[in-house]
């Protein structure tokens, strides 16, 4: 079994050989490592993308807006992912980002996952019939889709989710009331042993 370090280094070198700068190749390596760590098919999909890239042209999206329309070629998932990661603190004000055409949308996942950690919000990623929740770079939630994803996605949405509790206020109050039984009333002996108590003033 290949180690995560081997996966990252080989993905990085292959990305450089595929025409990306060392800086971008390093980000790709981190992304593929993350996908494989989460049990997702990073190596397989990166391989397929590089084979496709050799025979097709993809558009670079460097400055992202809330509604991105490519008139010619699909957007490159790598450049889009890195741009998103760099701009996420500005992009979250849009609440929702749309794209009309992106190649190998699966490869955007690790960049969204890392972005989720940066802004401290979950991100909902949808393309065609596929949906993922990026959870602070700790976990990627999805249905079981296997390892084969579309070459192009024509309807892409990235939604920033507001943080909220997963439980009702009633459940919280009930649990908190139970926890109160562990509270200890402050006694005279506790007051005397508290910080600063018992110190002698030698002046």
Give the range of the structural domain holding residue 18, as residue numbers without chain letter: 4-161
> Is there a domain that residue 175 lies in?
no
Tokens read off for 98 = 């749309």
What integer pLDDT is reported at residue 168 of this predicted model? Answer: 95
Count Cβ atoms below 10 Å from residue 43 Cβ, excluding itself: 18
> Is there a domain that residue 192 lies in?
no
What integer pLDDT is reported at residue 144 of this predicted model? Answer: 80
Count Cβ atoms below 10 Å from residue 200 Cβ, excluding itself: 5
**In what order do the strands lie in the sheet containing 122-127?**
67-68, 96-99, 156-161, 122-127, 130-135, 139-142
CA dist 92 → 84, 97, 118, 123, 185 (Å): 10, 9, 11, 10, 45
Each residue's pLDDT tens digit, 98-146: 999 999 999 999 999 999 999 999 999 999 999 999 999 999 999 888 8
Q: Could you say which residues of the chain have pLDDT below 50?
A: none
Give the count of domains, the chain: 1
What integer pLDDT is reported at residue 190 of this predicted model? Answer: 57
> Is there a domain that residue 118 lies in?
yes
196 contacts 190 by C-beta, under 8 angstroms: no
> Is there a domain that residue 156 lies in?
yes
> Is there a domain that residue 198 lies in?
no
> Is there a domain that residue 151 lies in?
yes
What integer pLDDT is reported at residue 145 of this predicted model? Answer: 86
């Amino acid at each position: 079994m290949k180690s995560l370090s081997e996966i990252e280094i080989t993905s990085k070198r292959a990305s450089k050989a595929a025409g990306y700068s060392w800086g971008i190749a390093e980000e790709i390596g981190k992304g593929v490592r993350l996908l494989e760590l989460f049990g997702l098919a990073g190596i397989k999909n990166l391989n397929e993308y590089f084979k496709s890239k050799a025979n097709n042209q993809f558009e670079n999206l460097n400055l992202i807006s809330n509604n991105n329309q490519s008139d010619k070629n699909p957007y490159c998932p790598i450049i889009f992912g890195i741009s998103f990661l760099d701009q996420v603190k500005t992009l979250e004000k849009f609440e929702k980002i749309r794209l009309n055409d992106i190649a190998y949308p699966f490869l955007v996942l690790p960049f969204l996952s890392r972005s989720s950690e940066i802004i401290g919000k979950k991100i909902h990623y949808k393309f065609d019939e596929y949906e993922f929740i990026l959870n602070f770079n700790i976990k990627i939630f999805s249905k079981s889709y296997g390892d084969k994803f579309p070459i192009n996605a024509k309807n892409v949405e990235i939604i920033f989710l507001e943080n909220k509790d997963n439980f009702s206020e009633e459940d919280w109050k009930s649990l908190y009331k139970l926890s109160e039984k562990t509270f200890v009333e402050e006694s005279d002996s506790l007051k005397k042993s508290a910080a600063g108590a018992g110190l002698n003033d030698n002046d």
